[in-house]
Amino acid sequence: MEEEKVQLGEFEELVLLITAILHENAYGVKVLDEIASQTGRKANISGVHTALDRLEKKGYLESYLGGATAERGGRRKRFFKVTNLGIQVLEINHRVRNTLFSQIPEALLQNK
């Protein structure tokens, strides 16, 4: 995958990263809670679900239904996991950001 072909918005990248962190325990509410605890950022569940759906359509995530639970009235949770393509995208974004950051003049970083 070429770096210039990666199209990932900032919130999508955050959702993809959190999904990777949660590994096999990633579902909408858990992703939302983890965004808040890891970043202090407030998001809403519809935004998280929209991002998860977009990432799945792009092939960066895949979803599956978990077992029905009594606490959810017999409804099943939709879990997400990062695909190999999603991992490649995260690695590319990480590399691009590090490359760009390394080009910031040291004097500027010392003047904070």
Single out the residue of 76, 80, 58, 59 nearest to residue 67, CA to CA: 76
Per residue in 68-109, pLDDT (tens digit) is: 776 766 788 999 999 999 999 999 999 999 999 999 998 888
Q: What is the pLDDT of residues 26-72, one digit of tens each?
A: 999 999 999 999 999 999 999 999 999 999 999 999 999 987 776 76
At the top level of CATH, which class does the domain 8-110 belong to? mainly alpha
Residue 5, C-beta contacts closer than 8 angstroms, at least 6 positions apart: none
Domain edges within the chain: 8-110
Cα 77-60-99 angle, rounded to 5 deg: 130
The DSSP 8-state label assigned to residue 7 in this structure reads -
pTM (2 d.p.)? 0.86
